[in-house]
Amino acid sequence: MQVQRVAMPASRVGSWTVLGDDDVPVEPVERYLAYLTDIERSPNTIKGYAHDLKDYWVFLARRGLDSELRQLSLAGS
16 - beta bridge partners? 5
What lies within 8 Å, CB to CB, of 5 at 6+ separation is 14, 15, 16
Write out the residue range of the structural domain in which residue 28 sits: 2-69
Determine, yes or no, domain membership for 41. yes
Determine, yes or no, domain membership for 42. yes
Tell me the residue length of the chain: 77
- Per the structure, the count of domains in the chain is 1
The pTM (predicted TM-score) of the whole model is 0.77
Nearest residue to 2 via CA among 47, 67, 40, 34: 47
DSSP string, 19-58: E-TTSSB-HHHHHHHHHHHHTT--HHHHHHHHHHHHHHHH
Determine, yes or no, domain membership for 56. yes
Instruction: Write out pLDDT tens, residues 10-66.
Output: 667 778 999 998 999 988 889 899 899 889 899 999 999 999 999 998 998 888 887
